Amino acid sequence: MKVTNKFSLILITVLLSTAVFAEEPVLVKEFVGQIEFVQGRITQLADAVPQSDYEWRPEKGVRSVSEVYLHIAFSNYMTVSITGGTVPKEVGFEMDFSKEHDWDIQTTDKTIILEKVNESFATLKEWTKSLTEEDLNREVEAFGMTMTIRNFMITMIGHTHEHLGQSIAYARTNHVTPPWSKKDSEG
């Protein structure tokens, strides 16, 4: 009887430890790492661009500097929504593609935009950390296609990096050097 009790105690301890200390799926860790990297670059660049350039756009019909940053926030919230998460109501986000342009043009104020971008990244990271391997394999509808959440997340990190590149091009066109480039060139 003592052996059975000890075995049962050990088994329960192992099972509880596994449940409590279950590791995040590898994709979740890597996605969050990429999000933290790209957030750092985007916010450094957004901070380096002067307020006077936030309304600049390369040509009519193309997103302005401010619109690109707000679009990144929209995309972060869209990722949370499509994958089953909830965006805080006070953010004012509505998962409605017909209102995406309205979101992108809501303000040109640099301070407000940086707050919105950082809030969106925080919401995205918090939600992503809750995803399980089972969640990642669940299918969702996005962009007229059916794909797993895993595939959708890979698509969205690429999308975010695309807008980082766009923001770098906008900044350099306006004679703003990305802060990390200055550090690299200084040795």
pLDDT in tens, 134-144: 999 999 999 99
**Whether the Cβ atoms of residue 167 and residue 42 lie closer than 8 Å to each other:** yes
Q: Phi-psi region for residue 41, left (φ > 0), alpha (ψ -120 to 50) or beta?
A: alpha
pLDDT (tens digit, 0 to 9) for every residue of the chain, 187 residues total?
565 666 666 667 666 554 445 678 999 999 999 999 999 999 999 999 999 999 999 999 999 999 999 999 999 999 999 999 999 999 999 988 888 899 999 999 999 999 999 999 999 999 999 999 999 999 999 999 999 999 999 999 999 999 999 999 999 999 999 999 976 555 5
Give the model's pLDDT for residue 96: 87
CA distance 57 to 63: 6
User: What's the predicted TM-score (pTM) here?
Assistant: 0.85
Q: Cα Rg for the chain, rounded, in angstroms?
A: 21
- Output the six-digit token pair for 119: 């809030």
